[in-house]
Amino acid sequence: MKSIGVFDSGAGGLTVVRELIRQLPSENIVYFGDTARVPYGIKSKETVIRFSIENILFLLGHDVKLICVACNTVSSVALPVIKTHFRVPIVGVISPGVREAVYATRNKRIGVIGTKGTIRSRAYEIEIKKLDPDVKVITQACPLFVPLVEEGWLAGNVVSDVVRSYLKPLKVARVDTLILGCTHYPLLKSIIKDVLGKSVTLIDSAKQVAIEVKETLAQEGMLNKGGRGRQLFYVSDNPEWFAGQAERFLGQKIRNIRKVENV
């Protein structure tokens, strides 16, 4: 059976894998984390495009039927270009979350949080305005969120203070919908909810991406029917570090991690 290919610059895309396993338990998944070249957010657009093409070629070598780009930087700056290079369906992380946010907002005030690179690209803002020009978009870079998640700091006073500081402009702007514009951020969902209040709808990009992948496979007649899928994990460096992150992101230990020497 063919697999779903997923790639990210590191471990954050595992939140997407978790949702794919939950929503599509019969599908095989091949994941590639480019841990040797992370982070992508500080690289030039040309470099991100080149890395993305190399990652897709690697996944195509594993007979994948769809590529899921589980990286906000790639989705922000490279997706339109890489889509022209390949026939295989490619799903990014921005459009699915944007559609859900525009549908969910009641007061037309949507917040977007992400890495500096994602926020600087204005990709979410542009996509939101395409769907509804009347929506006010308030963006906020949260550069400390990724290291907090990767260190396993998901609760406590320090984390609460950082989250509260970053989200203060969004509270002041009275957003009623917030897009978690980085695949690490769902792990902070609980504390973000506490800070913003229950009336604010959180849009988990990982969840929306998995829904889009399912719909795309169904439209193409490529859904697996029955059986339990398996997952293979590849990294370009440091499989030991990745294994620790995978346990945190997936909520379970994984052993089948393989290091790739040349992507």
Residues involved in catalysis: 71, 182
Contacts of 4 (CB under 8 A, 6+ apart): 20, 24, 27, 28, 29, 30, 64, 65, 66, 68, 213, 217
Residues in the chain: 263
H helices of the chain, where?
14-23, 45-60, 72-77, 79-83, 94-104, 116-121, 123-131, 145-150, 157-172, 189-196, 205-219, 239-250
CA dist., res. 219 & res. 105, Å (int) = 28
Tokens linked to 149: 């998640």
CA atoms in the 13 A half-sphere facing the CB of 222: 18
Query: How far, in Å, are 53, 82, 228, 251 from residue 87 at the CA level?
Result: 13, 10, 27, 34
> Any idea what DSSP says for residue 64?
E
Contact 195, 164 (CB under 8 A): yes
